[in-house]
Amino acid sequence: MINQTLLLFFPLMMAFAASSDLITMRISNRITLGLVAAFVVVAFLMGMPLGVFAMHLGIAFVVLVVGFTFFSLGWIGGGDAKLASATVLWLGLVPTLPYLIYAALLGGVLTITLLVLRRVPLPQALVRVAWVDRLHDNRSGVPYGIALAISGLLVYSDTTVFAFFTA
């Protein structure tokens, strides 16, 4: 039972991060901290060698530094930078490049779609829905956490964590 719970934790947190970003335009620090803490537990339970664990941490740190650079340039939100880093912590070296490629492509599609939809007036029934109205507002950003979460889910089955708990 604990294997299934640990296996599902990452996808559930990705879904929660995406839905939270969609509805509130924020990704809570609790989500990223939960992902980091759970990864430490999972790595311990897996008996992950210290060198592999350090590699996961190193990749996550690099992504965090790049993410906060993008944040300082106004390209992404701080929650997006933290979510990307926490996600990569779970993925490890090999799935990270496909993850980043998927995130860039899906994020681009999401951004273009939102820019196009923001030019079309909202139906009156949706104007009254606060999160839809906020999402439609040209002054709002893009809930990039959706692209990050979907990308993480696309590569999750290629991780050593997934392989360990499904073996």
pLDDT 10s digits, 65-100: 999 999 999 999 999 999 999 999 999 999 999 999
Q: What is the pLDDT of residues 116-160, one digit of tens each?
A: 999 999 998 888 898 998 999 989 999 999 999 999 999 999 999
Inter-CA distances, 106 with 55, 58, 77, 99, 133, Å: 26, 25, 16, 10, 22
CB 17 within 8 A of CB 145: yes
d(CA 27, CA 16) in angstroms, rounded, equals: 9
* Residue span of the structural domain in which 150 resides: 2-166
Residue in the structure block whose two tokens are 């079309």: 120
Q: H or E element: which one contains 35?
A: helix 29-46
C-alpha atoms less than 13 angstroms from C-alpha of 13 in its C-beta half-sphere: 25
Please give the residue that has the higher pLDDT: either 1 or 64. 64
CA 167 to chain centre: 25
Which residue in this structure is represented by tokens 């996808």?
A: 11
Q: 88, 115, 90: which is closest to 101 by C-alpha?
A: 88
pLDDT, averaged across the chain: 94
Contact 127, 66 (CB under 8 A): no
Mean of the pLDDT values across residues 33-56? 96
Q: Which residues, in sequence order, are CB contacts of 74 under 8 Å at separation 6+?
A: none
pTM: 0.94
Tokens of 117: 């939809």
Residue 1: the pLDDT is 62
Confidence of residue 107 (pLDDT cuts 50, 70, 90): very high
What is the chain's alpha carbon radius of gyration, rounded to the nearest angstrom?
A: 17
Question: What's the structural domain count of the chain?
Answer: 1
